[in-house]
Amino acid sequence: MTAAIIDGKAFAEALRARLAEKAASFEAATGRKAGLAVVLVGEDPASQVYVRSKGKQTVACGMASFEHKLPADASEAELLAVVAALNADPAVDGILVQLPLPGHMDEAKVISTIDPDKDVDGFHVINVGRLSTGMPGFVPCTPLGCIMLLKDRLGSLSGLDAVVIGRSNIVGKPMAQLLLAESCTVTVAHSRTRNLEEVVRRADIVVAAVGRPEMVKGSWIKPGATVIDVGINRVPAAEEGKTRLVGDVDFASAAEVAGAITPVPGGVGPMTIAVLLRNALVAAHRNAGVALDEAAI
């Protein structure tokens, strides 16, 4: 293996330590803790684990965690009432409605009712527009975490060729916007892209966010490129009845060629919640009118 391993777990820990300091100074300045509210509808086990982890990490960083749980058969109107109450609550700086929502709810409609200045997921169209026009707003957590790892590794990204594989609203599209803002030449590839291997081979930066286990092979990677693997796929393990996590990149072959690569697990994954806490703390400072050097955290 030649590639350096990008340690997202260690990076996220260091970020949380910086956040804890800023959360303490926010509390000293305002007499209240920065607050993050998470709304979970239904009993999806993966979402429950995720929400519990968010709550624990929020408290560990010295912020207030509010959890609202609704049954899977709650009406959309009930959910909208919860969001409206959180919008109006001055103790709540950030609101996250855990996705996916049950099928009878309109996700876009629900997200559109979140106050854009509390939308720490960066999913509201106002924040999507702010990102694409270079205005301050909130940026989705996973792509922002990827940019932090890339800048930590490479310094300036200016002029680099970047390929994003995947065009989701949550990762692919905001990732492309962020890379463009860093002056990369950006290609967004997807399931209809022709000659994907050739497209990937041109790239100094490859961000894989397609949700297809080990799809990107080492032979596709330009020697020395930086590879960011957003995929988290559970596949059968060698041992009967067991499973293991793999990314969208074939790690073993890619690590022979890349300059640096994020592992799965331990790469991008740990960054998402840490960046969520960062966004919530940023929201708290903005909403309370307390100065914060956002670029420094």
Positions annotated as catalytic residues are: 54, 98, 121
Annotate 137-153 with b (16+ C-beta within 10 A) or e (fewer). Answer: bbbbbbbbbbbbbbeeb
Tell me whether residue 118 or residue 222 sits nearer to ligand GUN (CB atom): 118
Return the SS3 of 164: strand
DSSP annotation of 116 reads G
Q: Is residue 98 at the binding interface for ligand GUN, with CB under 6 A as the rule?
A: yes
- The least distance separating ligand GUN from the CB of residue 99, rounded to whole angstroms, comes to 4
Q: Is residue 82 at the binding interface for ligand GUN, with CB under 6 A as the rule?
A: no
Binder to ligand GUN among 119, 121, 182, 248 (CB under 6 A)? Answer: 121
The residue whose two tokens read 């909208």 is 80
CA distances from 63 to 20, 21, 48, 83, 168 (A): 8, 11, 20, 20, 30
Binder to ligand GUN among 141, 175, 207, 258 (CB under 6 A)? Answer: 141
- The least distance separating ligand GUN from the CB of residue 231, rounded to whole angstroms, comes to 13
- The least distance separating ligand GUN from the CB of residue 36, rounded to whole angstroms, comes to 12
Residue nearest to ligand GUN (CB): 99
Binding segment toward ligand GUN, per CB under 6 A, in 8-16, 70-78, 97-105, 225-233: 97-105
Binder to ligand GUN among 41, 64, 79, 96 (CB under 6 A)? Answer: 96
Q: Is residue 280 at the binding interface for ligand GUN, with CB under 6 A as the rule?
A: no
- The least distance separating ligand GUN from the CB of residue 170, rounded to whole angstroms, comes to 6
Dihedral of CA 68/16/289/109: which sign? negative
Tell me whether residue 141 or residue 205 sits nearer to ligand GUN (CB atom): 141
Give the CA-trace dihedral at 295, 128, 146, 191, to 10 degrees. Answer: -160
Binding segment toward ligand GUN, per CB under 6 A, in 57-65, 91-99, 101-109, 213-221: 91-99
Tell me whether residue 4 or residue 108 sits nearer to ligand GUN (CB atom): 108
Q: Is residue 164 at the binding interface for ligand GUN, with CB under 6 A as the rule?
A: no
d(CA 178, CA 72): 35
Alpha carbon 10 to its chain centroid, in Å, reads 16
Give the CA-trace dihedral at 153, 233, 271, 187, to 10 degrees. Answer: 50
Q: Is residue 139 at the binding interface for ligand GUN, with CB under 6 A as the rule?
A: no
d(CA 59, CA 36): 10
Comparing C-alpha atoms, which of 105, 106, 123, 102 is closest to residue 114?
A: 123
d(CA 40, CA 51): 8
Q: Which of residues 187-226 bind ligand GUN (CB under 6 A)?
A: none
d(CA 262, CA 266): 8
- The least distance separating ligand GUN from the CB of residue 159, rounded to whole angstroms, comes to 30
What mask, x for binding ligand GUN by CB under 6 A, covers residues 37 to 76? ----------------------------------------
Where do contacts with ligand GUN occur on this chain (CB under 6 A)? Answer: 96-99, 121, 141, 272
